[in-house]
Amino acid sequence: MHSLRFSAEEIIETIDMVKVERLDIRTITIGISLLDCVSDGVGPLCERIYDKVTRVAANLTRTSRAIGAEFGIPIVNNRISVTPISLIAGRATPDDFVAIARTLDRAADELGIDFIGGFSAQVEKGMTTGAANLIAAIPQALAATKRVCSSVNIGTTKAGLNMDAVAMMGRTVKETAALTAEQGSIGCAKLVVFCNAVQDNPFMAGAFHGTGEPDCVVNVGISGPGVVLRALEQADHADFGALATLIKRMAFKITRAGELVGRTASERLGIPFGIVDLSLAPTPAKGDSVARILEAMGLERVGTHGTTAALALLNDAVKKGGAMASSHVGGLSGAFIPVSEDEGMIEAAENGDISLDKLEAMTSVCSVGLDMIVIPGDTPAETISAIIADEAAIGMINRKTTAVRVIPAVGRQAGDLVEFGGLLGHARVIPVNTRSSAKFVARGGRIPAPLQALNN
Amino acid sequence: MPTSISSGRAIVTIIGLDRVGIIAAVTGALAEANVNILDISQSVLREEVFTMIMMVDLAKARVPYEELSTRLKDIGRDLKVQVEVQREDIFKAMHRI
């Protein structure tokens, strides 16, 4: 007689995680190198890009659907990340770059996936002509496409911050907002400005396929704030040590599920397995919220005093539990706090309980940055640049990835509601400090790389 | 690490209010698909909620996985119980180190 090998409690726990607590695999992302697509002209280049992307990922959605059904865990998104486009089109004009973006969009459409990332450039120390032209093309590219995501890395701990690029990105965000004004400036939801960008991130909008990666790779992003929330709700009187242990146990389990899905996808697609990104990624659905986890620790509302400490505990425990569950952890790995995509954050923003300043503080202890925050449409480009500079400084000094994805929604004032739909959610406009940063941003040059010793 | 794709075994879980014919319908569908039942356990985990868990062997199944899953879920819908069929690997991954 075979034994069941699992207790009824274990089996029901797994089923409840999916059915009640909304555990899902957030994304299977195939990273694809486009370095072998480099061509003499933009026409052949676009052909090669389209052919390679649609060939490598031809079976992605079908495979992912089958795996989800067999394991009983929904796989919510299938995505592609590609080599930063600035690297494969060094001589392209801004118009050429827009044509490449349209090609990526067409490939994503053909594959039936929602996002393709990698319309990107890395300019932390300086800017090639190709990178400058790509950045110039971003507003038009994001307005002309639905599925293309863009990111620009403007700083690293080793190189410092490229403040010329920071100034440029403030203007780029504004132009992107203007060109997509009629859809709530949604173009900005597909644009991330990074410090210390990672090469293997499976999450959008910041995913790209780094140059140190293999030709193709399967990366997986997990989710599961609901699982952690439910566990904490049942531990009302636990002290912090016990809370951390509980989170680690849950993170371990959901990461193992991600690892299994990633390895299975890798084997069936014939593409090597890269990493599991140990992230708690919220959605606008009720209970699928990182903010609610922080509140379950005893805070009346996310954003109040204690929020940063609660988030620090959560983020660290997720990593500790997840790190043991996976052979290769990578990507951004941590708790995400995208305001418009998290039901608890949306409510806090609605009531004015969370400020941009508190969100900035929170990003110093979690992944990843100021994310999906709607700011007034009349915010000057220089102020957006200064927001980027502050956030990048946190990343640079603390040797971590930080990012800015803010949406200056055209025509909207603080308190107005902006709706993006789907996973991107909705949010009230959060006010920014209206004192000018223009003179600071206009200085230009680079903020030098920081010392890596004397850490205080 | 759970590197093997599949042991060929799956766990069928039936959760719902107890009523006549549940086991007959599910085991009938499994037999029709040539799926061997390796073990069955039944318990009442929560008040009045009937839970039956079966370990089955899919190695000689005559229908593809998705087809089997659809058939079992249809039976569940008819009898107003929740029927899940999941490869064993997911439980091994989540509950065994």
The answer to whether residue B1 neighbours chain A at the CB level (below 8 Å) is yes
The three-class DSSP label of residue A329 is strand
pLDDT at res. A325: 92
End-to-end C-alpha distance for chain B, whole angstroms: 8
Looking at the complex, report in whole angstroms how far the Cα of residue A366 sits from the nearest Cα belonging to chain B: 25
Residue A263: closest C-alpha in chain B: B3
The rounded distance, in Å, linking the Cα atoms of A329 and A350 is: 35
Contacts of residue B94 in chain A, CB cutoff 8 Å? Answer: 10, 14, 253-254, 256-257
Domain parsing of chain A, residue ranges: 1-449
**Length, in residues, of chain A:** 456
Query: For B43-67, what is the mean pLDDT?
Result: 85
Cα angle A354-A357-A359, degrees, rounded to a multiple of 5? 60
Q: Which of A235-249, A336-350, A363-377, B3-17 has the lowest mean pLDDT?
A: B3-17
Query: For A18-32, what is the mean pLDDT?
Result: 91
Query: For A416-444, what is the mean pLDDT?
Result: 92
Query: Does A15 contact B13 at a Cβ distance shorter than 8 Å?
Result: yes
Looking at the complex, report in whole angstroms how far the Cα of residue B19 sits from the nearest Cα belonging to chain A: 20
The answer to whether residue A73 neighbours chain B at the CB level (below 8 Å) is yes
Nearest Cβ partner of B90 from A4, A71, A267? A71
Residue A1 has pLDDT above 80, yes or no: no
Going by the DSSP 8-state scheme, the letter that residue B66 receives in this structure is H
Query: For B52-77, what is the mean pLDDT?
Result: 92
The rounded distance, in Å, linking the Cα atoms of A155 and A272 is: 30
What would the two tokens of residue A198 be?
Answer: 């990672």
Query: Does B15 contact A15 at a Cβ distance shorter than 8 Å?
Result: yes
Contacts of A271 (CB under 8 A, 6+ apart): A30, A56, A216, A217, A218
Residue B57: closest C-alpha in chain A: A2
* Backbone angles phi and psi of A276, in degrees to 5: -105, 130
Query: For A221-238, what is the mean pLDDT?
Result: 90
Closest-CA residue to A151 (of A196, A191, A123, A185): A191
What would the two tokens of residue A71 be?
Answer: 């394991």
Residue A274 near residue A330 (C-beta atoms within 8 A): yes
What would the two tokens of residue B53 be?
Answer: 């868990």
Average pLDDT, chain A: 94
Give the confidence band of A365 by pLDDT, cuts at 50, 70, 90: very high
The answer to whether residue B36 neighbours chain A at the CB level (below 8 Å) is no
Q: Which amino acid is at A303?
A: G
Residue A8: closest C-alpha in chain B: B53
Going by the DSSP 8-state scheme, the letter that residue A435 receives in this structure is S
Residue B11 has pLDDT above 90, yes or no: yes
pLDDT at res. B5: 45
Contacts of residue B88 in chain A, CB cutoff 8 Å? Answer: 5
pLDDT at res. A21: 85
Residue B47 has pLDDT above 50, yes or no: yes
Pairing of strands B49-57, B36-46: antiparallel
Query: Does A12 contact B45 at a Cβ distance shorter than 8 Å?
Result: yes
H/E stretch holding B56: strand B49-57
How many CB pairs (< 8 A) connect A and B? 89
Task: Say yes or no: domain A1-449 is CATH 3.20.70.20.
Answer: yes
pLDDT at res. B20: 80
pLDDT at res. B7: 62
Contacts of residue B15 in chain A, CB cutoff 8 Å? Answer: 12, 15
The rounded distance, in Å, linking the Cα atoms of B33 and A279 is: 39
Residue A4 has pLDDT above 80, yes or no: no
Question: What SS3 string covers B16-35?
Answer: EECCCCHHHHHHHHHHHCCC
Pairing of strands A148-156, A191-195: parallel
The rounded distance, in Å, linking the Cα atoms of A173 and B47 is: 56
Nearest Cβ partner of B5 from A6, A69, A267? A267
Query: Does B90 contact A14 at a Cβ distance shorter than 8 Å?
Result: yes
Query: For A248-266, what is the mean pLDDT?
Result: 94
| A296-316 pLDDT per residue, tens | 999 999 999 999 999 999 999
Cα angle A21-A27-A33, degrees, rounded to a multiple of 5? 165
Residue A77 near residue A164 (C-beta atoms within 8 A): no
| A31-56 pLDDT per residue, tens | 999 999 999 999 999 999 999 999 99
Query: Does A14 contact B95 at a Cβ distance shorter than 8 Å?
Result: yes
Q: Which amino acid is at B2?
A: P
pLDDT at res. B45: 66
Query: For A273-293, what is the mean pLDDT?
Result: 91
The rounded distance, in Å, linking the Cα atoms of A23 and A257 is: 10
Query: For A253-280, what is the mean pLDDT?
Result: 94
- Percent of chain A at pLDDT > 70 equals 99
Q: Which amino acid is at A276?
A: V
Give the confidence band of A452 by pLDDT, cuts at 50, 70, 90: confident
The three-class DSSP label of residue A410 is coil
Residue B2 has pLDDT above 50, yes or no: no
Contacts of residue A14 in chain B, CB cutoff 8 Å? Answer: 86, 90-91, 94-95
pLDDT at res. A284: 86
Going by the DSSP 8-state scheme, the letter that residue A96 receives in this structure is H
Residue B3 has pLDDT above 50, yes or no: no
Contacts of residue B45 in chain A, CB cutoff 8 Å? Answer: 8-9, 12
Whose tokens are 């636990």? That residue is A238
Domains and CATH numbers, chain B: 9-95 (3.30.70.260)
Whose tokens are 């863009």? That residue is A150
Nearest Cβ partner of A70 from B1, B65, B93? B65
Q: Is the peptide bond before A257 cis (omega within 30 degrees of 0)?
A: no
Q: Which of A7-21, A115-129, A242-256, B3-17 has the lowest mean pLDDT?
A: B3-17
Contacts of A11 (CB under 8 A, 6+ apart): B11, B13, B53, B91
| A183-199 pLDDT per residue, tens | 999 999 999 999 999 99
